[in-house]
Structure 1
Amino acid sequence: MEAALAVASLITVLVLSVGAIVGVTAQVRCVDAAREAARLTARGDDARAAQAISAVGPPGATASTTRSGDTVTVRVQAPVPALPGLTVSATAVAALEPGEAG
């Protein structure tokens, strides 16, 4: 009985640890995708920004872009596959390059 409880506890800890690692990885990928998309959008390269989100972001990532004054804000969010119901997101802000309209 004690061995069964120990094994069940060990499996629970292992599953939660793997879920946490997957969640952190998705968060880091959202941060990277938001940063790249904001940088590219600030340069006026919206098409490559969308490609960067697909390439760098986690699977299922979506993005929203807002231009305000002389800055652009990109928010990337994605569901965490290993933890249903959990969504991670990241926001990046970049100054628009000279010549780009706000």
Structure 2
Amino acid sequence: MVTVEAAIAVCALLAVMALAATGLTAVIEQMQCTDAAREAARLAARGEPERGEQVAGEIAAGAVVVVHSQADAVRVVVSKRGPLGLPLTAEAFAVPEPR
């Protein structure tokens, strides 16, 4: 009887550990998306939007990077699918530097 209880406890512990690892992975990938959006916005504000998209793609591998440039602001949206298909999105804004 103790063996069955121990087996159930071990399975439950493994399930909790797997969920915790998945959650931690999602948090790390969300932070990568945020960092990628910030760097892309900074580079686009300096007048290098192509370089910003390239760098953002390197920081958040497999992410879709969209740069929206307007006269008074640059908006960058970085999105990707995280673990278990969880949608992850980050936005960043920057003011273009005068030329």
TM-score, normalised relative to structure 2: 0.90
- Which has the larger displacement, 37-46 or 62-71? 62-71
Unaligned runs of 5+ in 1: none
Please tell me whether the aligned partners of residues 75 and 92 of structure 2 are also in contact (alpha carbons under 8 angstroms).
yes
SS at match of 2:80: strand
Unaligned runs of 5+ in 2: none
Indicate the RMSD between aligned Cα atoms, in angstroms: 1.1
- AA aligned opposite 1:37: A
Q: Does 1:21 align with 2:59?
A: no
Structure 1 runs of 4+ aligned residues shifted over 4 Å read none
Aligned residues: 96
Identical aligned residues as a percent? 40
Greater share of residues in helix: 2
Q: Alpha-carbon deviation of 1:46?
A: 1.6
- Provide the C-alpha distance between the structure 2 equivalents of 1:19 and 1:8, rounded to a whole number of angstroms: 17
Q: Deviations over 1:38-89 (max 9, x none)?
A: 00001111221122112211x2101111123310000101111xx2221111
Computing the radius of gyration over CA atoms, which structure comes out larger, 1 or 2? 2
- Provide the C-alpha distance between the structure 1 equivalents of 2:70 and 2:50, rounded to a whole number of angstroms: 19
TM-score, normalised relative to structure 1: 0.88
